[in-house]
């Protein structure tokens, strides 16, 4: 079998999670139009037992948080997660947003990648929103660095060139074991995925100043034959944020719960009763203890 690990890196909100989901053919990582949606490293597993006349293929994608200039301890911790991923993979896939002009943040990412000897590919995302001239200008800028073995233009949202990119990545895999059973697409437990689904709906429902100060903890998860009962606590940083999350007459929280419940039922394949509570933990993003206990930083 051919197998290996692929680290997906890039700046915030360039489409890393959307592209990984597209390559897997199913939704594993949450997505949002807001930057810094991904706060943990998310594992996506692509297995093709028929690959190369039955020899088999397994690619383990590691979707990392966006590399950015941190403004709190949480930002520093998730940057560290992204950078640490680079040293333990077989190939690095850098995602760039083709609709943005090349800037300091992109230069900073290249400086980090330059220190790593791992083979690198570049995917210029959002091709469906670019002109040929925009693409060529960005292609030439990255190509001149000499850092990338291959450069592709893709549209993660529409699926353009995604299979071609996946086939190219497969060529970098080496003879190795099947790391995961062929019938799973992620190694994250259901509780984690459920918490991420709730957080995604919060990201989509809330004002810009609130989502990044939100953490979702699953307090109870009771599976029955016909019904799964889930209790989740949404933590925010300020009392004013709590009011925003709940909304007038509880309308916003009800909307979040309804949207999350539908997706969780699809995930679990059964009816779900979802209870949501909102609590305040002031300035938790600058607390080392909380960041560690909630899994954003290695011990």
Residue range 173-214, pLDDT digits in tens: 999 999 999 988 888 778 888 988 998 898 888 766 565 678
**CB-based contact 199:206 (threshold 8 Å):** no
Residue 68: band (very low, low, confident or very high) from pLDDT cuts 50, 70, 90: very low
pLDDT at 162: 95
Nearest CA to 123 out of 102, 86, 92 is that of: 92
Which has more confidence, 139 or 73? Answer: 139
* Domains of the chain, each with CATH number or no CATH: 2-175 (3.40.50.300), 190-293 (3.30.300.20)
Average pLDDT of the segment spanning 283-289: 71
What are the phi and psi torsion angles at 220 (to 5°)? -145, 145
Rounded to two decimals, what is the model's pTM? 0.72
The percent of the chain in helix, strand and coil, each rounded to the nearest 5, is 40, 25, 35
Give the separation between CA 215 and CA 68, rounded to whole angstroms.
20
Residue 223 in this model has a pLDDT that exceeds 60: yes
Give the separation between CA 27 and CA 278, rounded to whole angstroms.
26
Residue 13: band (very low, low, confident or very high) from pLDDT cuts 50, 70, 90: confident
pLDDT at 71: 44
**CB-based contact 158:20 (threshold 8 Å):** no
**CB-based contact 121:90 (threshold 8 Å):** no
- Two tokens at 243? 């009011």
pLDDT at 278: 94
Residue 242 in this model has a pLDDT that exceeds 80: yes
Average pLDDT of the segment spanning 82-102: 85
């Amino acid at each position: 079998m051919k197998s290996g690990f692929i680290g997906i890196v890039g700046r915030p909100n360039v489409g890393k999670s959307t592209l990984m989901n597209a390559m897997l053919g199913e939704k594993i990582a949450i997505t949002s139009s807001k930057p810094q949606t991904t706060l943990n490293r998310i594992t996506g597993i692509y297995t093709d037992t028929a690959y190369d006349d039955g020899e088999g293929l397994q690619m383990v994608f590691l979707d990392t948080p966006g590399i950015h200039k941190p403004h709190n301890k949480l930002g520093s911790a998730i940057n560290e997660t992204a950078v640490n991923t680079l040293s333990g993979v077989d190939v690095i896939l850098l995602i760039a947003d083709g609709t943005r002009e090349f800037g300091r943040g992109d230069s900073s990412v290249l400086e980090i990648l330059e220190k790593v000897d791992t083979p690198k590919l570049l995917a210029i995302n959002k091709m469906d929103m670019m002109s040929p001239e925009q693409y060529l200008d960005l292609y030439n800028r990255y190509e001149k660095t000499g850092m990338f073995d291959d450069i592709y233009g893709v549209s993660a949202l529409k699926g353009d060139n995604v299979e071609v990119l996946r086939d190219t990545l497969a060529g970098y895999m080496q003879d190795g074991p099947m790391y995961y059973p062929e019938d799973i697409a992620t190694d994250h437990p259901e509780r984690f995925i459920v918490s991420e689904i709730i957080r995604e709906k919060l990201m989509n429902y809330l004002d810009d100043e609130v989502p990044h100060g939100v953490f979702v903890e699953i307090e109870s998860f009771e599976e029955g034959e016909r019904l799964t009962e889930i209790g989740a606590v949404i933590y925010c940083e300020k009392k004013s944020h709590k009011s925003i999350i709940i909304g007038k007459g509880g309308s916003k929280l009800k909307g979040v719960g309804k949207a999350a419940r539908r997706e969780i039922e699809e995930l679990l394949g059964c009816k779900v009763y979802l209870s949501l509570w909102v609590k305040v933990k002031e300035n938790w993003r600058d607390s080392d203890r909380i960041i560690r206990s909630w899994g954003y930083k290695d011990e």
